[in-house]
């Protein structure tokens, strides 16, 4: 089996580090403070964010311990972030982690042994340790992914197709992460600030970019909002456009069941227009937005293996 590239990251136990872990999970993004030469040409397939064990110990001692692993697929490669994104960046209005990449959560594994019998092997285990010693800077290492995928219960299709169907993975939620030690710091919930005005500004920025794009192509554009965002016509041709915006990386988007069913209806021609890495200045009123990286999918029809349910509708027993 051919090895693939992993980026191994140690995440500290401080309140700030754990808050950033939550935010990274929510926004499907991770980042480092410094560029390393190998980042500019690397194309990692997976990322592991590990937490729960102090790294500044000899490797012989480290390898006798256990750790919690958060396994991700790397969906967007290393790129330069130009605007504050993480909570501590927003607080200081500066970019502290310019080296960024997009991650899709696959599974969380607790109490993973770090010795030669563990799914990381000694090379992966030591890469995590070295990352922790160097302020969480990612360490690239080539590994056979099978032991880790099997341990996560998601390895059944890797042997044949070298792919991970999203609908076969459990994912990771912020509720699974351990709570901060100080309950006073949790008043905003999972370290993620929910700001309706910021969310609305992001949505409007993405929609404005999509409108400008289609109008430039000669389409007549009508903003609907529901059942889809933009109704575009050009002669007899009609396109329905779903627009999504995020300050994070272009890895995945939240969809309603109606959006999925509408895109799958053969009577509809649907495009997906995603604007990621949007910068938001919350220090002015109204909030100012700028920038963004576009992912544009024409004739979009979401496949089953690319969908992972977030919640279920439960029918109560008849009374």
- Choose the final residue of a domain: 127, 159, 186: 186
Residue 311 falls within a domain, yes or no? no
Q: Are 158 and 273 found together in one domain? A: no
Residue 109 falls within a domain, yes or no? yes
Residue 316 falls within a domain, yes or no? no
Q: Are 172 and 222 found together in one domain? A: no
Average pLDDT, stretch 294-299?
A: 96
Residue 20 lies in domain: 4-186
Residue 191 falls within a domain, yes or no? no
- Choose the final residue of a domain: 166, 186, 206: 186
Q: Are 182 and 217 found together in one domain? A: no
Q: Are 223 and 275 found together in one domain? A: yes
pLDDT at 163: 87
Q: Are 76 and 169 found together in one domain? A: yes
- Choose the final residue of a domain: 155, 186, 217: 186
Q: What is the pLDDT of residues 237-296, one digit of tens each?
A: 999 999 999 988 889 899 999 999 999 999 999 999 999 989 888 888 999 999 999 999
Q: What is the pLDDT of residues 48-67, one digit of tens each?
A: 999 999 999 999 999 999 99
Q: Are 87 and 11 found together in one domain? A: yes
129-167 residues labelled b (16+ CB within 10 A) or e (exposed)? bbbbeeebbbbebebebebbbebbebbeebeeeeebbbe
Average pLDDT, stretch 154-180?
A: 82
Residue 317 falls within a domain, yes or no? no
Q: Are 272 and 208 found together in one domain? A: yes
Q: Are 84 and 151 found together in one domain? A: yes
Q: Are 271 and 173 found together in one domain? A: no
User: Which candidate, 111, 127, 117, places its Cα nearest to that of 46?
Assistant: 127
Average pLDDT, stretch 85-91?
A: 82
Q: Are 238 and 265 found together in one domain? A: yes
Q: Are 150 and 201 found together in one domain? A: no
Residue 231 falls within a domain, yes or no? yes
Residue 271: CATH number of its domain: 3.40.1350.10
Tally of structural domains, the chain: 2
pLDDT at 159: 77
Average pLDDT, stretch 19-23?
A: 89
Residue 192 and residue 174 in contact, taking contact as beta carbons nearer than 8 Å: yes
Q: Assess whether pLDDT exceeds 70 at residue 211.
A: yes
Kindly report the pTM of this predicted structure.
0.85
Q: Are 12 and 114 found together in one domain? A: yes
Average pLDDT, stretch 124-149?
A: 96
Residue 244 and residue 229 in contact, taking contact as beta carbons nearer than 8 Å: no
């Amino acid at each position: 089996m051919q090895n693939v590239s992993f980026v191994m990251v140690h995440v500290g136990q401080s309140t700030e580090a754990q808050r950033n872990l939550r935010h990274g999970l929510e926004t499907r993004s991770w980042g480092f403070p410094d560029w390393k030469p190998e980042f500019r040409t690397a194309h990692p397939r997976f990322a592991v964010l590990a937490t729960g064990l102090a790294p500044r110990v000899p490797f012989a001692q480290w390898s006798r311990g256990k750790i919690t692993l958060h396994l991700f697929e790397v969906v967007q490669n290393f790129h330069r972030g130009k605007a504050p994104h993480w909570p501590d960046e927003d607080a200081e209005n500066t970019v502290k982690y310019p080296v960024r990449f997009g991650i899709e959560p696959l599974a969380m594994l607790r109490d993973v042994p770090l010795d030669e019998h563990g799914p990381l092997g000694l090379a992966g285990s030591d890469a995590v340790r070295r990352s922790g010693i160097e302020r969480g800077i990612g360490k690239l290492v080539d590994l056979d992914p099978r032991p880790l995928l099997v341990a996560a219960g998601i390895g059944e299709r890797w042997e044949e197709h070298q792919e991970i169907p999203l609908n076969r993975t459990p994912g990771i939620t912020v509720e699974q992460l351990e709570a901060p030690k100080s309950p006073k710091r949790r008043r905003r919930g999972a370290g993620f600030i929910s700001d309706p005005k910021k969310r609305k500004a992001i949505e409007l920025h993405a929609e404005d970019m999509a409108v400008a794009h289609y109008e430039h192509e000669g389409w007549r554009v009508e903003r609907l909002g529901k059942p889809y965002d933009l109704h575009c016509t050009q002669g007899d041709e009609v396109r329905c456009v779903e627009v999504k915006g995020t300050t994070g990386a272009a890895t995945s988007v939240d969809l309603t069941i109606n959006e999925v069913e509408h895109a799958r209806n053969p009577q509809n021609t649907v495009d997906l227009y995603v604007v990621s890495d949007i910068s938001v200045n919350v220090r002015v009123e109204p909030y100012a937005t700028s920038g963004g990286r576009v992912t544009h999918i024409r004739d979009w029809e979401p496949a089953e293996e690319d969908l992972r349910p977030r919640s279920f509708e439960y029918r109560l027993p008849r009374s």
